[in-house]
């Protein structure tokens, strides 16, 4: 039946400019998934395997939820897929699940989610709330046209209704068309300052997911305050088994550079240990090839 094939799309929701949500048949992956993990998606047989952090899963329905922003050839091709079409392959769940700790009533776990960072943040934040941890979500978007999942019946507000005393939410947008004008770092800075003077809840940890430059800015901001900060990395991946080195993350431990791999050591890595100067250029390592491929796809 339509949509019942393995890896078939059973639901597709247009979320914003170039952003689509897919609910996909994948019962085995749904049954094994844990917050913080990702899957590798192959849109067509000779396509590219791209990593996507799980936005949600439903063990009863046997589905997983993925959110994709059209950037290059693969994401453009995925976003053009329709309900009933099937992916050539989906492998997962991959990566280490988020490390979850139970914190005290005067502490909060702060999530800074930039743009497409909101879907991967969602299941991790939900786990913290289920454990009884207080959570502060700072969700930032470039502009109102790129805002999603914040409506009355959508993920964030549903969680706010379910956990009214445990979840605080701050929305920001770069251009001020939605929420507070500015970057996610602005409210975070205010919270860190308040922490110093023991006002408000103590920040137990910060989890940051979104554009690499944003994650670096968050790491730079929290470092002087000594607040544990974890970045969930959406690195370029090839084999996702720790063999090819494409997703290498240079990390400095006791003054020594150590190679971690986002696919098997992550995707969550201590953001204060990452050598961001060496790491950030890695996101552009296939820029030329990606540009050519996109030109060919659009031609």
Distance CA 142, CA 197 (A): 31
Tell me how far apart the terminal alpha carbons of the chain are, to the nearest angstrom: 34
91 interacts with ligand FES by CB under 6 A: no
Please choose, out of 76-84, 141-149, 219-227, 234-242, the segment that lies near ligand FES by the rule CB under 6 A.
Answer: 234-242
10 interacts with ligand FES by CB under 6 A: no
Give the residue with the Cβ less far from ligand FES, 259 or 287: 259
Distance of alpha carbon 11 from its chain centroid, rounded? Answer: 20
Contacting residue, 240, 249, 251, 271, with ligand FES by CB under 6 A = 240
Two structure tokens written together for 38: 């990702």
Please choose, out of 18-26, 54-62, 233-241, 271-279, the segment that lies near ligand FES by the rule CB under 6 A.
Answer: 233-241
Please give the size of the binding site for ligand FES, defined by CB under 6 A: 12
Give the residue with the Cβ less far from ligand FES, 229 or 235: 235
State which of positions 24-63 bind ligand FES (CB under 6 A).
none
Considering the complex, what minimum distance in angstroms separates the CB of residue 55 from ligand FES? 21
Distance CA 109, CA 137 (A): 8
Distance CA 138, CA 179 (A): 10
Give the residue with the Cβ less far from ligand FES, 109 or 247: 247
Contact 110, 141 (CB under 8 A): no
> What is the per-residue binding string for ligand FES in 243-262, x denoting contact by CB under 6 A?
xxxxx-------------x-
Give the residue with the Cβ less far from ligand FES, 150 or 246: 246
Strand order in the sheet with 107-114: 180-181, 167-173, 134-141, 107-114, 202-209, 229-232, 268-270
| 3-class state of residue 70 by DSSP | coil
Contact 118, 170 (CB under 8 A): no
Question: Contact positions toward ligand FES, by CB under 6 A?
Answer: 237-240, 242-247, 261, 263
């Amino acid at each position: 039946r339509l949509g019942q094939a393995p890896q078939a799309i059973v639901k597709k929701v247009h979320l914003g400019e170039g952003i689509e949500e897919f609910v996909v048949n994948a019962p085995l992956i749904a049954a094994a998934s844990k917050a913080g993990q990702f899957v590798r998606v192959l849109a067509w047989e000779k396509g590219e395997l791209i990593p996507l952090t799980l936005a949600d899963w439903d063990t009863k329905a046997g589905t997983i939820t993925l959110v994709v922003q059209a950037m290059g050839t693969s994401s453009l091709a995925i976003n053009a897929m329709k309900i009933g079409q099937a992916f050539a392959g989906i492998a997962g769940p991959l990566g280490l699940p988020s490390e979850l700790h139970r914190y005290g009533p005067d502490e909060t776990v702060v999530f800074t989610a930039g743009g497409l960072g909101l879907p991967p943040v969602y299941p991790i934040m939900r786990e913290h709330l289920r454990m009884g941890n207080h959570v502060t979500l700072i969700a930032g978007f470039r502009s109102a046209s790129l805002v999603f999942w914040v409506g009355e019946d959508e993920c964030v507000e549903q969680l706010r209704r379910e956990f009214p005393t445990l979840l605080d939410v701050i929305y920001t947008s770069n251009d001020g068309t939605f929420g507070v004008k500015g970057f996610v770092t602005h409210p975070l800075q205010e919270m860190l300052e308040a922490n110093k003077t023991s006002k408000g809840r103590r920040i137990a940890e910060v989890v940051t997911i979104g554009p690499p430059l944003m994650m670096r800015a968050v790491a730079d901001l929290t470092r002087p305050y000594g607040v544990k900060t974890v970045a969930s990395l959406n690195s370029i991946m090839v084999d996702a088994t720790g063999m090819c080195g494409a997703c290498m993350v240079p990390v400095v431990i006791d003054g020594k550079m150590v190679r971690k791999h986002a696919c098997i050591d992550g995707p969550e890595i201590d953001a204060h240990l990452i050598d961001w100067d060496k790491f950030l250029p890695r996101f552009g390592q296939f820029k030329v090839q990606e540009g050519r491929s996109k030109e060919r796809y659009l031609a």
